[in-house]
Amino acid sequence: MSDINLPIYLDYSATTPVDPRVADEMRRFLTPDGEFGNPASRSHSFGWHAEEAVDEARKQVAALIGADPREIVWTSGGTESDNLAIKGAAHFYQKKGKHIVTVKTEHKAVLDTCRQLEREGFEVTYLAPQADGLLDLAELEASLRDDTVLVSVMHVNNEIGVVQDIGAIGKMTRERGIILHVDAAQGAGKIPINVHEMQIDLMTLSAHKIYGPKGIGALYICRKPRVRLEAQMHGGGHERGLRSGTLPTHQIVGMGEAFRIAREEMAEEAARIRALRDRLWDGLNKMEEVYLNGDLEQRVPGNLNVSFNFVEGESLIMALKDVAVSSGSACTSASLEPSYVLRALGRNDELAHSSLRFTIGRFTTEEEIDYTVSLIEQAVQRLRDLSPLWEMYQEGVDLDSVQWAVH
């Protein structure tokens, strides 16, 4: 225990620290003695050098997903990429049709963008996933119509880590000439993804989920078949007019280096992280009334989303001062609603209120996992001793039969 630094970080799906190798690269593009030029400057070597660095990063990002570098457009991050993809495609193709299909468990950057399009007169179908978090492909197929122009399905879910069968979806949409957008912010660099094999038309990428800096992302835009978008940011015509704004060289270089490292080390790293995840689950699963949310097999290696029945999530997080995790329950918000993702899976509200998301990453150690298991065991025991629901459960009361005064 002596070599553990507290608090332990198990929230890698929220963000990751920048890999020191990435930070070293970024530093070369900031100061007067570095390559600080504007990549759009064509009249001197400062600009040329910066542009070379941006091109190299573009190649690295493209290589991770099997794309051509010309298919990559830099953005400020995942949210912007989602907005550009969905609004850009919907606006460009609206004469063809105004129907969009997505899933209830998508990230808010997708859902809220779809809501905006609804206000603009588009029609959006929000599919419910199955209890394991995976999309029913037959249901997806049945939802496609002649006027469907866009399907947006995330690769890996940010809360429960389940991996959708993008290849099967791509086949379905490509056959029908419908554009497929995939939010891969949580998947790229963690599990293999190939945009051409999976027939993806638009794909959101983010740097800070895989040890790159915050504030930079990219959108993959398929060239064959050619997918067109209406720009959402206007100005100097950067990125072939699709996204104006001075390119942040150091951020882009950081994303490129992060994606290079991910491509080279992904297989080995995924195996190590998966082993840590399984160790965590084995430890937690020894307790009574602990439930895994989302399918275990079709899941990104670093994610574990667990409900501790009869313990409320926020109080559990409060007890875990030395472990940085996030609660599936958003009960700090004024609405007091539990996680919309867990509810979409059909989890009952108690279990949705009792969930924690653990996400393991590059710098997690076995000692940290073991220490976390022991802390959680103590905290869950203590809170169950405080819980009237646990007491009723122990007495054999069926909680579903109780008439609760819902407030």
Partner 1 sequence: MAYGKKVLDHYENPRNVGSLNKDDAQVGTGMVGAPACGDVMKLQIKVNDEGVIEDAKFKTYGCGSAIASSSLLTEWVRGKTLAEAGEIRNTDIAEELALPPVKIHCSVLAEDAIRAAIEDYEGKQAREAGAPGEAELAEAV
Q: Which residues are catalytic?
A: 331
329 binds partner 1 (CB under 8 A): yes
Please name every residue paired with 148 in a beta bridge, in sequence order, or none if there are none.
Answer: 99
The residue from 2, 5, 43, 333 that contacts partner 1 (CB under 8 A) is 333
The residue from 297, 334, 396, 398 that contacts partner 1 (CB under 8 A) is 334
357 binds partner 1 (CB under 8 A): no
Segment contacting partner 1 (CB under 8 A): 36-44, 118-126, 174-182, 304-312?
304-312
How far, in Å, CA of 374 to CA of 254, rounded? 37
Please name every residue paired with 74 in a beta bridge, in sequence order, or none if there are none.
Answer: 218
391 binds partner 1 (CB under 8 A): yes
318 binds partner 1 (CB under 8 A): yes
Q: What SS3 class is residue 162? A: strand
Least distance from C-beta 402 to partner 1, angstroms? 9
Considering only residues 273-292, where is the footprint of partner 1 by CB under 8 A?
none
Closest CA to 378 of 336, 323, 329, 341: 323
Cβ proximity to partner 1, 2 vs 332, nearer residue: 332
CB-CB contact of 22 with 211 (8 Å):
yes
Q: What are phi and psi of 221, to 5 degrees?
A: -130, 115
390 binds partner 1 (CB under 8 A): yes
Contacts of residue 261, Cβ cutoff 8 Å, sequence gap at least 6: 19, 21, 22, 211
Structure tokens at 303: 């994610």
Least distance from C-beta 312 to partner 1, angstroms? 5
Segment contacting partner 1 (CB under 8 A): 143-151, 157-165, 249-257, 326-334?
326-334
Least distance from C-beta 330 to partner 1, angstroms? 10
The residue from 139, 147, 197, 349 that contacts partner 1 (CB under 8 A) is 349
The residue from 310, 325, 358, 361 that contacts partner 1 (CB under 8 A) is 310
397 binds partner 1 (CB under 8 A): no
396 binds partner 1 (CB under 8 A): no
308 binds partner 1 (CB under 8 A): no
CB-CB contact of 368 with 279 (8 Å):
no
Site string for partner 1, 358-387 (x = CB under 8 A): ---------------------------xxx
Contacts of residue 377, Cβ cutoff 8 Å, sequence gap at least 6: 283, 287
Asked if omega into 7 is within 30° of 0 (cis), the reply is yes
Least distance from C-beta 406 to partner 1, angstroms? 5
131 binds partner 1 (CB under 8 A): no
Q: What are phi and psi of 124, to 5 degrees?
A: -120, 130
The residue from 331, 362, 365, 375 that contacts partner 1 (CB under 8 A) is 331
Task: Report which secondary-structure segment, H or E, holds 191.
Answer: none
Q: Indicate the residue type of 81.
A: S
CB-CB contact of 292 with 133 (8 Å):
no
How far, in Å, CA of 24 to CA of 159, rounded? 31
Closest CA to 386 of 292, 318, 298: 318
405 binds partner 1 (CB under 8 A): yes
Binding site for partner 1 (CB under 8 A): 310-312, 314-315, 318, 329, 331-334, 336, 338, 348-350, 353, 385-391, 399, 404-407
